[in-house]
A and B are shown apart, each in its own frame.
Chain A
């Protein structure tokens, strides 16, 4: 029941000359950050810039090697996350930390650091109702969390911090799991709360659009050091980008090459598939993708897009329907994938495309290990050619790894995806199945990956792009399709539609 009735207000926080050294590596080099009470502050930076390290030092996950944290102007020694919570500082992580099998209410109640041994649900429910009445937004509290949408979960995560009476909330890329509308809603609500002086927000992000729309101030880190700060209203996107990437070269995307009367490469006809719980996840999808075309599939997460990708990549059985590639029947077996040159860039590559504890070289060999020169006589594996090819691709795709023999789990997210990209796109590609390829990646990696996808399209590959990032779909696709409840709700040429129309169909209000 702690603090539910207290009237704590937003608190300010200042980090002064924070320093953190790991082994011989300076991860955080005398970085300072000032977030006045009741402001919305964006913390920008590339992967590895030190944003997470800084935030973890503030939260007490790490013991900084230098510097101090001032909470409301007073020096505070925060030794662990529990002390951070007592000081009123809470964090919402990039990935959900709710217990999926518990309801929203149960999650809130068990999250209290010093809950009593016996829970009186009647009192708790009444208190929760009273708490929600004071909040500017709601989330369903009576349903198990695994039944909630990503947006609802994210709102619940934020509600949890408010319920714990945290008045300085750190958000680590909070919108990477949300649709644009959900993101705008959640950030808008937080923006309102900062304006009223209820909370202070520090948000780690990559998305300039969100910084411009919601933040007051920003601080940029680069390579472990301070790279700049300022008021959002006085900083252009170009200036932010320059601070973030310094003199790093960002890859230019090739122009869209026009293909005239291209033949159909991938024909998805009447495809149905079941979800793990037996309900229909994909319900009669028909889609033709031409050579040299990117078809983007938009949709609110959980409307069958992932299941469709799983069917196409062999991870989920197809109950009904037919797949044809260039007129020939296709089933996602290893032989047919090689024959019809079908490749994929799945979301969360460590989960879907790589084996974390195998080496980078081994992971890069997944497509080629059973072909010469790596396979001799069809079954003998030779490590030499495997490593040689991996080293070539690591150089060509600029994968940052200490060695081809390092486990791929030791790499940053962007570099894991680059390694997968190297594996999937380094030979001839006719069909490319892409799902949220840039999920949680930094600026340079995102541009690199999008440029590679465009290159494949221009070379004549048929590309199916499933993405929860509408900007990604709008900038890459030739045609857009919207999936809703396992069906295609809408298909249109990209030039003849707009964000609002697509958004309406995503929300199921197409007609």
Chain B
């Protein structure tokens, strides 16, 4: 540490290390490293494809085609991106408090199931607005409670939040299955066990001019709102202090426990909202396909976006596109649908490995050194 003070004073004399330049350099680091990680994982995945005797060029071309090439594929992409944005927020908000919470899937499933369950007595009742307001509120409340439980366990009982959120996700899916296959199963539905479906006129409509539901608008608004909350308000600043150093936060009199609870409630509500839109705009009923992995993709998206709410939007769209291309890849290349999951998993591993480069590249840190004692 001793030399740093002197390097610091030396640095202050250099034009290139002005406040402004330092911010630019740190910003470009946060952009360049995830992009490099994406490229590396694409490269690794190409090797995997070559080993299978498939053409990487064709694969990436099909991703482009299936995800972003046509108006139809864009709809498909955005349809998937919307819930992923919300589940990614469910990871990014606790991350601001230093918590690694991966329970978006559970909160989405249980929130969606709650919405579907609330709807049952009101289907065909002629008051769709009331029904949707109640469904929306129920989904958010249950989603919030589900992640909030993990927050409370962490804060008051010292339970590791990563493990508890992961396990709570499986419990959530089991709870949904229990009711869907039992008490709440719609006997009139000949297909797989489901709750009673909304009538098609009662579903949430599409956005004007594009084949995507209103969930996308809500997801974008949520990303911007969370950005403002976490980066531009005193609440967000207090969260950042508590996340960076809980002891220091306590010494400043900050209510660390309350911050953790509130942040995890907001996180869960975001994932619950994704569940609501899956029911109200996509499926119309709760069944096993509600647990389709959006919660887990959200983890990857949040990490790739460096837990930044605004960066989550483009990254979610990218992964929405990759997922949307799954079908066309299956048909044209004879690769299983799960191939894109492999690409996601690979990206996640490379991404975690790339974390080691932060603060160590001289390009972004003019005085990057390792002599901190």
Q: How large is the interface on A (under 10, 10 to 19, 20 to 34, 35 or more residues)?
A: 35 or more
| Distance of A442 from chain B, by nearest CB (Å) | 9
Contact B233 A379 (CB under 8 A): yes
| Distance of A323 from chain B, by nearest CB (Å) | 13
Known contacts A353-B251, A406-B22; A53/B244 CB under 8 A: no
| Distance of A176 from chain B, by nearest CB (Å) | 13
Chain B residues within 8 Å of A23, by CB: 7, 366-367, 369
CA distance A328 to B334 in the complex (A): 77
CA distance A47 to B2 in the complex (A): 5
Known contacts A369-B234, A379-B235; A313/B251 CB under 8 A: yes
Chain A interface residues (CB < 8 Å from chain B): 22-25, 27, 47-53, 56, 62, 94, 223-224, 313-315, 332-338, 344, 346, 351-358, 362, 365-367, 369-370, 375, 378-381, 400-406, 409-415
Contact B11 A402 (CB under 8 A): yes
Contact A333 B255 (CB under 8 A): yes
Contact B232 A366 (CB under 8 A): no
Chain A residues within 8 Å of B252, by CB: 334, 337, 366-367
User: In residues 223-259 of chain B, which contact A (Cβ within 8 Å)?
Assistant: 232-238, 240-241, 244-245, 247-248, 250-255
Tell me which of B12-20, B119-127, B295-303, B309-317 binds A: B12-20
B199 at the interface (CB under 8 A from A): no
Known contacts A47-B2, A381-B232, A413-B1; A405/B251 CB under 8 A: no
B5 at the interface (CB under 8 A from A): yes
Q: Is the interface of B mostly helix, strand, loop or mixed?
A: helix
Contact B19 A48 (CB under 8 A): no
Q: Which of B18, B241, B371 sits near A22, CB closer than 8 Å? A: B371
Chain B residues within 8 Å of A365, by CB: 237
Chain B residues within 8 Å of A313, by CB: 250-251
Contact B2 A50 (CB under 8 A): yes
Contact A352 B234 (CB under 8 A): no
Chain B interface residues (CB < 8 Å from chain A): 1-12, 17-19, 22-23, 232-238, 240-241, 244-245, 247-248, 250-255, 366-367, 369, 371-373
Chain B residues within 8 Å of A48, by CB: 2-6
Chain B residues within 8 Å of A351, by CB: 245, 247-248
Q: Is the interface of A mostly helix, strand, loop or mixed?
A: loop
Chain A residues within 8 Å of B369, by CB: 22-23
Interface centre among A24, A94, A314 (most CB of B within 10 A): A314
Known contacts A381-B237, A402-B12; A27/B244 CB under 8 A: no
| Distance of B45 from chain A, by nearest CB (Å) | 32
Contact B7 A22 (CB under 8 A): yes
Contact A402 B255 (CB under 8 A): no
Contact B7 A352 (CB under 8 A): no
Q: Which of A334, A346, A414 sits near B255, CB closer than 8 Å? A: A334
The chain A residue sitting closest to B3, CB to CB, is A27
Contact A335 B253 (CB under 8 A): yes
Contact B245 A315 (CB under 8 A): no
Known contacts A50-B2, A410-B4, A411-B8; A381/B233 CB under 8 A: yes
The chain A residue sitting closest to B23, CB to CB, is A405
Contact A412 B1 (CB under 8 A): yes
Contact B233 A27 (CB under 8 A): no
Contact B248 A62 (CB under 8 A): no
CA distance A344 to B22 in the complex (A): 31
